Amino acid sequence: MAEGGTVGDRLRRARRRRFVGRSGEIELFRGALADGDFSVLFLHGPGGVGKSALLGEMAEAARQAGVAPVLVDARTITPEAGAFLRAVEAPRGRYAVLVDTYELLAPLDDWVRERFVPGLAADTVVVIAGRDAPSARWIADAGWHELLRVVSLRNLSPDDARAYLDVEGVPAELHERILRLAHGHPLTLSLLVDMIRRRREVPGALSGVPDVVRALLGRLVDEVPGPRHREALQICAHARFTTEELLRAMVGDGAGPLFGWLRTLSFVEEREFGVFPHDVVRDILDADLRWRDPDGYAALHRALRAHLVERARAAREDELVRHRAVADIMFLSRDHPVVKGYWRLGGLGRLSVSELGPGGAETVLAMTREHQGHEQARFAARWIERQPGAFGIFRDDAGEPFGYAAYLALHEADEEDLQADPGTRAMWSHATRHGPPRPGESVLAWRFFVDTERGRRPSRSETMIRLWHGQEVITRGGKAWDLVTVPSDREYWDPLLSFFDFHHAPDASYRVGGMLYEVYAHDWRVLGVDDWLSLTAERELGAPVAAATAAAPELVLSQPEFADAVRAALRDLRRPDRLAGNPLLRSRLVRSADDPGAALRSLLEETAEALRNDPREESLYRVVDRTFLRPAATQERAAEMLGLPFSTYRRYRNRAVERIAASLWEKELYGTGHHMDS
């Protein structure tokens, strides 16, 4: 025989060279061989997590300890006691039994626990590896409390994954991209390394390598009982957390059994807020659906997002539920090539935004002085006195602050305070120049934002301000302007804020303490919240990010200007060429219509018709009819046809126009659900 031994020996050495990590599990096994603290080591984890490779390494550890390893692969035997015993074929002397793919031996579980293992020599160590955790009977038996150790196998740590890539000779510059795709999952790492060797490239996402996805799905998911189970699995992969309530909202009746089935899957974990798959499983399932059925993927995304938006709005007064719902919405955009670079979604549940509270003002001012200077801190102190509720401190689970923000209500501030601060002065000037707020409308500004971790992007503070702002956008009504201040770094901020339809407002930029602050703005009267939610949902699905919607001065009219525009529109109702220049065509009332001119004519006619339906106003309708809807040759002729003195006719005409303008103004402010008072 050659010096190298058998091919099996060479294969074993090659596998050992490529084995990384799992030192804790191997030492646990070695300890059992040495001192006999326990008899059964039960390893469980999802497909592809490296259970078989670990058993191979434990077999080597047994050989080094002078113990013969007996490997049993359940895929090669029938689940019968006789077949199992034949597979063991215990050698002479001491041995250890290592069983792989134990989930296939479920019919033998009681026999293994009650007959096989108890019949072994006292110094025998048994290692069981499978996808499923040990059954309740293992855990409930008081005797096994001493003799059983259970280990849940998870993905490799980043350091171990890098070590594997080094062993495989993958260039260091590719490591981070591969780690982001694989999440430390051994099988994914292996398949990606193989793909790199063949193609010399790293995909941007798993959806770009459907052959890898198919291979992983075959190992991870196996057979799904039916189409509704597959749908439940796809929902679970797309949502941050899945509960029975969420499943019911998405699939209707039968959610209970489907949720119960999800809980049995080896790659699905449970937490306080629901169940979720391991990261690599989530990515694989999501990538598979997006590649296999793009329309189905888009429909799932829109439906899930709409449900979460409604949940956030329903929880308007419950801050915790609202916080979770908006975090869930943010999670849906986790893979977008722009957005994913700005958020740190891991550990989000352990972070919070707290009110100032005792000592909070001092904390805010200290952070401001350290990171943005004394002059900025002086302005922060002024606004803490004026609007303390606008400030929120970002804290970790130990209560330690790592940043803060302030969302000021500029429309509630007096002129002196606005003008005393160059930031609020510039932002307020922009709002009033490009569309002043009307009664009941707000101008809200992120005037202060301090991030103590700017060297670690994306930072936790950037994530928290997006979460806070998302809650405000979805649940707060009556807004005119949103303005966002960021320290000058347009190259960094432009992609994110353009994605969310905030346009750069250069006339609102300002300097404090020698530092330039840039401002981005969004006018909610130009693109309302519901339209904005639809726009961002489509962008999450891949729609291109166009230039942000910027407000034009004529889009937002004062009440007198609006009334003048209504009079002109009525006068030009039968003159399409002149009506085309009416500013109402770009108002909230009709700007989103396919044909704003036709929509405006219909709206004016419907509003006039409301006068006709009120017996007290019927005389006004008749004047409108003969003046604007079916106009007489002259107004004098209209008065004559109506049998009215001209002075009375003019009084009725003016009153009718005022009533129509008032009704439309109410719709412009509050939407089309409001009606003219009687």
Report the range of poorest mean pLDDT among 215-224, 364-373, 431-440: 215-224
* Confidence check: pLDDT of 316 > 80: no
Q: Which helix (H) or strand (E) holds 205?
A: none
Write out pLDDT tens, residues 27-68: 999 999 998 889 999 999 877 788 888 999 999 999 999 999
| Domains 7-152 and 352-553 alike in fold | no
Q: Which helix (H) or strand (E) holds 499?
A: helix 490-499
Confidence (pLDDT) at 7: 67
- Tell me the backbone φ, ψ of residue 166, rounded to 5 degrees: -65, -45
Q: How far is the CA of 330 from the CAs of 27, 591, 663, in angstroms?
A: 41, 29, 39
For 56, the token pair is 């191979």
Where do runs of H (alpha helix) occur along 278-344? 279-292, 294-314, 319-331
* Confidence check: pLDDT of 490 > 80: yes
User: Quick one: three-class SS letters along 233-277?
Assistant: HHHHHHCCCECHHHHHHHHCCCHHHHHHHHHHCCCEEEECCEEEE
Q: What would the CATH number be for the domain defined by 352-553?
A: 3.40.630.30
- Are 387 and 427 in contact by the 8 Å Cβ rule? The answer is no
Write out pLDDT tens, residues 401-443: 999 999 999 999 999 999 999 999 999 999 988 888 888 889 9
Single-letter amino acid, residue 667: K
- 7-152: which CATH number, 3.90.1150.10, 3.40.50.2300, 3.40.50.300, 1.10.10.10? 3.40.50.300
Indicate the average pLDDT of the chain. Answer: 85
Single-letter amino acid, residue 474: I
Nearest-angstrom CA–CA distance, 155 and 49: 6
Query: Please, which residues have CB within 8 angstroms of residue 180's CB and are 6 or more apart in sequence?
Result: none
**pTM to 2 decimals?**
0.62
- Are 392 and 404 in contact by the 8 Å Cβ rule? The answer is yes
Taken as a whole, the chain contains a residue count of: 678
Percentages helix, strand, coil for the chain, rounded to the nearest 5?
Answer: 60, 15, 30
Residue closest to 550 by CA, chosen among 497, 598, 627, 601: 497
What does the DSSP 8-state code read for residue 112? I
What does the DSSP 8-state code read for residue 595? S
Residue closest to 267 by CA, chosen among 256, 275, 259: 275
What are the residue boundaries of the structural domains of the chain, listed by start?
7-152, 158-204, 219-332, 352-553, 557-670
Confidence (pLDDT) at 366: 96
Percentage, residues of the chain above pLDDT 70:
90
**Mean pLDDT throughout 649-672?**
84
**11 — pLDDT class (breaks 50, 70, 90):** low
Report the range of poorest mean pLDDT among 189-198, 499-508, 536-545, 581-590: 189-198
From the CA atom positions of the chain, what is the Rg in Å? 34
* Confidence check: pLDDT of 335 > 60: yes
Confidence (pLDDT) at 552: 45
Residue closest to 501 by CA, chosen among 535, 467, 478: 535
For 301, the token pair is 């995304």
Write out pLDDT tens, residues 130-183: 888 898 889 888 888 889 999 988 888 888 888 888 888 888 888 888 888 878
Confidence (pLDDT) at 349: 66
Confidence (pLDDT) at 199: 62
Percentage, residues of the chain above pLDDT 90:
37
- Are 666 and 678 in contact by the 8 Å Cβ rule? The answer is no
* Confidence check: pLDDT of 2 > 70: no
Return the axis-axis angle of helices 51-64 and 23-35, rounded to nearest 10°: 40
Write out pLDDT tens, residues 548-601: 665 544 346 778 888 899 999 999 988 888 888 888 887 777 766 668 888 889
Write out pLDDT tens, residues 428-486: 999 988 888 888 889 999 999 999 887 777 788 888 998 899 889 988 877 889 999 99
**342 — pLDDT class (breaks 50, 70, 90):** confident
Nearest-angstrom CA–CA distance, 264 and 133: 10
Nearest-angstrom CA–CA distance, 344 and 462: 8
Single-letter amino acid, residue 274: G
**207 — pLDDT class (breaks 50, 70, 90):** low
* Confidence check: pLDDT of 674 > 60: no
Q: How far is the CA of 397 from the CAs of 50, 85, 524, 589, 668, in angstroms?
A: 33, 52, 35, 47, 45
Confidence (pLDDT) at 61: 93
Nearest-angstrom CA–CA distance, 525 and 522: 9
* Confidence check: pLDDT of 676 > 50: no
Q: How far is the CA of 565 from the CAs of 623, 640, 662, 665, in angstroms?
A: 19, 27, 12, 11
- Are 570 and 661 in contact by the 8 Å Cβ rule? The answer is no
- Tell me the backbone φ, ψ of residue 570, rounded to 5 degrees: -65, -40
For 463, the token pair is 């994530």
* Confidence check: pLDDT of 184 > 70: yes
- Are 223 and 200 in contact by the 8 Å Cβ rule? The answer is no
For 127, the token pair is 């290692």
Report the range of poorest mean pLDDT among 251-255, 484-488, 554-558, 673-677: 673-677
Among positive and negative, which fits the CA dihedral 538, 540, 544, 550?
positive
Single-letter amino acid, residue 400: E
How many other CB atoms are there within 10 angstroms of residue 2's CB atom? Answer: 8
Q: Count CA within 13 A, CB hemisphere, residue 93.
A: 8
* Confidence check: pLDDT of 75 > 70: yes
**SS3 call for 358:** coil
**337 — pLDDT class (breaks 50, 70, 90):** confident
